[in-house]
Structure 1
Amino acid sequence: MRLHTSLVFEPSTQISALQRHVDRLKQNPEVAALLILACDANGYTPANLDPLLHACTKPVLGGIFPQVLHEGRAWSEGVVVVGLSRAPVFVALKNLSQHSGFEETLDHSFNLSTLPAPHTLLVFVDGLSAHISSLVEGLFNTFGLEFNYLGGGCGSLSLQPKPCVITPAGLLQDGALLVLLDYPSSIGVAHGWVSISKPFKVTSAQGNTIHSLDWRPAFEVYQEILKMHGDQHITPDNFFSIAKAYPFGITRLDAEMVVRDPLTTRDQHIVCAGEVPTGTFVRVLHGNQHTLLQAAQRAHAVARQSWAETQSHPHELQFVVDCISRALFLEQNFCQELAAIHTSGPMLGALTIGEIANSGQDYLEFYNKTAVVGFF
């Protein structure tokens, strides 16, 4: 059975335009659920979107992102609407920032003995929640490599917290949505950022906020590194415009460093997209157009090769999760990254605040500034 029966991009930001697609698809007997990827600029809120979600007789699942992807193009307004041919099993989690462990909750989420293999778990999470990495760790501790995982952080480029995870019960803030599809997939992950500093020990951190590096204020250390590299003068006022080119890298054994995107600074602290645990070692990274485009090509090649090795039929759909900060960094050259990722067939996806994926068969991480390519 096909994964989807309908895939459309609606350029209008109006709820009424989305309503027309939802009404059409819920009347289609071949559609069992709806997947929606919407742009933050649409202005969807609980007040205008929740009535639509509550009234739909089929589950509506997805998220609101800085931009969405459709057929090799990035859109800052509009919505991608997909009619899924089989109803997925899904779980919505609330108040992520109030949790420190997720294993017990996740252990009761899915009854794997009743579900046919193979599985792919889509994970949509509020990208500004404080415990995303803890959720990802809980997923791996609970389910291991039972699934392929693919997803990312919902939210706004304004970095203002707001409801952004779409569930049948309504829009969620500080929440997550786990959508289990019984379809095969292949995943490729790469980022292309390289180290420009020695390793620094994170001597104090809480959640996604780094307080100190090598027992010194984190922002002070970060300023010194950027001053030595390219004579960059970073301040609280110009922080995001410069920091987008200088992420942190957390060292992982036998794998690419996991990138953490610095979002803002407060009181000499640095707030990142995703946790940076106390006691880990980080480096400051930098990249250029060439290294990032090479990484996107590598992610696509890995996903394509994995599909060819495990499946005897062509893939039906490409699902891409790419970091919004890669688009901001590459600017007008980001179209080249999309061209490297999208080669043939239907494509959808989102530019996210952090990416969730397993690389090959060994790792599950919450990434930043990373390109993730999935074949279904």
Structure 2
Amino acid sequence: MQINVRRIGLIDTEQFADELHNNDVNSADLNIAFGDVNAITALSDAVSDKTNWIASSSCLGAMSHLGTDLGDSFVHVMSLQNTQGAIGVASCDISNGNATELAGATIVTAMQRANRLGEMPSLVWIIQAPGQEEAVLDGVQTVLGNSVPIFGGSSADNAIEGKWVQFDGEHLYSNGLVIAAMYTEEPVSCYFSSGYTSTQTQAEVTAVEGRVIYTLDNKPAGEVYNHWLQEYGHPPLKPGSILSDSTYFPLGRHKGCKSDPIPLLSHPSKLNDDNSLELFATVKQGDILTLMQGEQHNLISRAAEVTEVVLRTHELNYETRPKGLLLVFCGGCMLAVKDQLETIHASILKKAQGLPFLVAFTFGEQGCFPDGKSRHGNLMISATVFG
């Protein structure tokens, strides 16, 4: 396997198109790309071949070993060549019907395009618009079960305006799903983490509809959450968007192995006038939610930490160094520490030791837990290494 990463700027439109048609990109088995909305839109206009693409807009741009986007638009493209296996990409518009059924049909199409229908992929990588992540995972897992790790992220924009986009090499979506079914002869390793610590404060979800919690322990959810914040020295939040104010205090559900559960985080996004609480993830009645606590220094250091873990795991398991690293970093966490992006970039460079890498900043993260089940969460981070 060969992995190359390119960072292509939009300043010169002609040069942008020329760089997109270099041999690395044109001959790739799969191109994975991130950038801001303008960059991915320009990418969709410039791509003219039928190469497999799985691309998405990323909050305020993206990051790679070649640099960090701090204002200008760039597309960061990771090209996988000579994978000694097969990769199939398929997509759909998930606003056109039942998301679970559409996702199931889309993973089947991706497997067919890899000419491996009936064979379990090594890894499924997904990009989608925010909003129906759990339904999409249900659809994919209806076909594959829980034996195949599913990783990926939810598209983002710069101001949480719903202007995110997804691209499959042919179609540009605003509410799309793009799935890559990957069958690789060379090894792949993945790691999914939260980076937050659990408090002793928790409550049961007693009334909920989708992503809106009405009551916790039979009390108005907003009142309960505000009471928790006050216990930790923070003023109560007023109705409206609370996305930035809740970044350091998300809600966690402990999942995975009973002996060593991992918190799956849900990010409170809005406090409504009726004291209901909206999240960026779906919870169910009866779920026990724990107040989680994050620290700025942990958010700054976590990218380097997950890089170290996945590299060490890969090298121990396969006695080889991988060829490339793909990180999915929550956009909400990034916005909380965006003045430290250069520090984060330098820390990944140090751990990667010359390995090409690509980082996306997403509004939702998907990854696999120790029990083998892949789930959707917020404020999470994942690392995938190939080869």
Q: TM-score, normalised by structure 1?
A: 0.84
What's the counterpart of residue 234 of structure 2?
A: 231
The answer to whether the aligner puts 1:367 opposite 2:363 as a matched pair is no
What's the counterpart of residue 219 of structure 2?
A: 216
Q: Which runs of 5+ in 2 are unaligned?
A: none
Detail structure 1 runs of 4+ shifted over 6 Å in the superposition: 115-118
What's the counterpart of residue 108 of structure 1?
A: 108
What's the counterpart of residue 82 of structure 1?
A: 78
Q: Which runs of 5+ in 1 are unaligned?
A: none
Residues in 1 aligned to 2:289 and 2:215: alpha-carbon distance in whole angstroms: 12
Q: 1:13 to 1:139 in 2, by over 3 A?
A: farther
Percent identical: 17
1:34 to 27, 31, 35: 31
What's the counterpart of residue 282 of structure 1?
A: 289
* 1:42-99 CA distance string (max 9 Å, x none): 3655xx665445x334343311110312117532431112333257201213226953
Question: Given that residues 7 and 66 in structure 2 are in contact (C-alpha distance below 8 angstroms), is that contact kept between their aligned partners in structure 1?
Answer: no
Residues in 2 aligned to 1:34 and 1:189: alpha-carbon distance in whole angstroms: 22
Q: 1:276 to 1:335 in 2, by over 3 A?
A: farther
3-state SS, counterpart of residue 327 of structure 1: helix
The answer to whether the aligner puts 1:60 opposite 2:53 as a matched pair is yes
Residues in 2 aligned to 1:269 and 1:94: alpha-carbon distance in whole angstroms: 30
1:358 to 364, 368, 378: 368
1:108-147 pair list within 5 angstroms: 108-109=108-109, 110-111=111-112, 114=116, 119-127=122-130, 129=131, 131-144=132-145, 146-147=147-148
1:259-278 pair list within 5 angstroms: 259-267=265-273, 268-278=275-285
Q: 1:142 to 1:339 in 2, by over 3 A?
A: farther
Residues in 1 aligned to 2:24 and 2:64: alpha-carbon distance in whole angstroms: 22
What's the counterpart of residue 325 of structure 1?
A: 332
- 2:210 partner amino acid: G
Question: Given that residues 122 and 180 in structure 1 are in contact (C-alpha distance below 8 angstroms), is that contact kept between their aligned partners in structure 2?
Answer: yes
1:89-104 pair list within 5 angstroms: 89-95=88-94, 98-99=97-98, 101-102=100-101, 104=104
2:191 to 183, 188, 191: 188
Q: CA deviation at 1:197?
A: 5.2
What's the counterpart of residue 347 of structure 1?
A: 357
Q: CA deviation at 1:147?
A: 3.3
Question: Given that residues 191 and 296 in structure 1 are in contact (C-alpha distance below 8 angstroms), is that contact kept between their aligned partners in structure 2?
Answer: no
The answer to whether the aligner puts 1:205 opposite 2:205 as a matched pair is no
Q: How many residue pairs end up in the alignment? A: 367
Residues in 2 aligned to 1:133 and 1:238: alpha-carbon distance in whole angstroms: 23
Q: 1:117 to 1:210 in 2, by over 3 A?
A: closer
What's the counterpart of residue 19 of structure 2?
A: 21
User: Superposition RMSD on alpha carbons, in Å?
Assistant: 3.1
The answer to whether the aligner puts 1:257 opposite 2:267 as a matched pair is no
Q: 1:200 to 1:147 in 2, by over 3 A?
A: same
The answer to whether the aligner puts 1:299 opposite 2:306 as a matched pair is yes
3-state SS, counterpart of residue 222 of structure 1: helix
- 1:317 partner amino acid: G
Residues in 2 aligned to 1:33 and 1:68: alpha-carbon distance in whole angstroms: 18
3-state SS, counterpart of residue 262 of structure 2: coil
The answer to whether the aligner puts 1:155 opposite 2:156 as a matched pair is yes
Q: 1:38 to 1:231 in 2, by over 3 A?
A: closer
* 1:152-175 CA distance string (max 9 Å, x none): 111214222235111234221222
* 1:240-283 CA distance string (max 9 Å, x none): 33112211111224421101112223343332222122321112
* 1:2-22 CA distance string (max 9 Å, x none): 2x3x42112336765542323
- 1:79 partner amino acid: V
Q: 1:300 to 1:359 in 2, by over 3 A?
A: farther
